[in-house]
Amino acid sequence: MSISYPPGLRELLEELETFGEHNDATTTDRASRMLNITPDTGAFLAVLVRSMAARNILEIGTSNGYSTVWLASAAAAVGGRVTTIDVEARKTQLAVHNLRRAGLEDTVELLTGDAGDLLARGAAERWDLIFLDADRKPYATWWPDLWRGLRANGLLVVDNAISHEAEMEPLVERIRQQPGATHVLVPVGKGELLVLKATT
């Protein structure tokens, strides 16, 4: 797959990709691993953001900001913004540094905390696109608030849908039971589950 990097960001993204791979190969502690998306997933997300002209984007699972750079660069091109949250403060600080290097700090609101709490208190139909790439255990519990937070014709994208298919099944079952939800599995990267919220 030919990767289309955001203008001027190729070197930074390649550096972060290499850093993530080396870091994850040398540590077994999940909290210390970057667990970054693949470059083709980054390009795929950027295409989605730009084609939808998504202006309000939520990312759950910031890590060191690799995926956030992909999202924010595309959002900036359409006048949008990204809100991203991670439970690990150290990773948030890494992301702050990397987004500054990318010149995208003004396009992103970085939060540290529990994504479930953020979703529960969030406004209905706020998000054009939600990218979900975190600990998969609470996904099914989060589903009602994820769905409520998406606008009509909004899109939920969930990473690791092929690589961790069994862990994703509780969420997929909730999606199957949701009226107005159309989902498709896209074999990009580690597998991207796309869920479209139909208009009512």
> What pLDDT, in 10s, does the model give residues 94-153?
999 999 999 999 999 999 999 999 999 999 999 999 999 999 999 999 999 999 999 999
Residue 98 maps to a domain: yes
20 φ, ψ to 5°?
-60, -45
- C-alpha 51/C-alpha 79 separation (Å) is 13
Q: Enter the pTM of the model.
A: 0.94
85's tokens: 């949250």
The answer to whether residue 1 sits within a structural domain is no
The CATH number given to whatever domain includes residue 53 is 3.40.50.150
On whether residue 51 sits in a domain, the answer given is: yes
Q: Are 182 and 194 in contact (CB under 8 A)?
A: no
Domain containing 78 equals 10-197
In-domain check, residue 47? yes
Which pLDDT value is given to residue 21? 79
* 61, part of any domain: yes
Instruction: Say if 183 falls within a structural domain.
Output: yes
In a domain, 115, yes or no: yes
User: Quick one: pLDDT band at residue 34, thresholds 50, 70, 90?
Assistant: low
CB atoms within 10 A of CB 50: 15
Tell me the pairing of strands 56-60 and 127-132: parallel
The β-bridge relationship of strands 192-197 and 150-158 is antiparallel
Judge whether 119 lies within some domain.
Answer: yes
Whole-angstrom CA distances from 49 to 18, 58, 112, 158, 172 are 25, 11, 23, 14, 23
User: Quick one: CA dihedral 158, 125, 141, 82, positive or negative?
Assistant: positive
**Count of domains observed in the chain:** 1
Tens of pLDDT along 161-200? 999 999 999 999 999 999 999 999 999 999 999 999 997 6
Distance of alpha carbon 110 from the chain centroid: 13
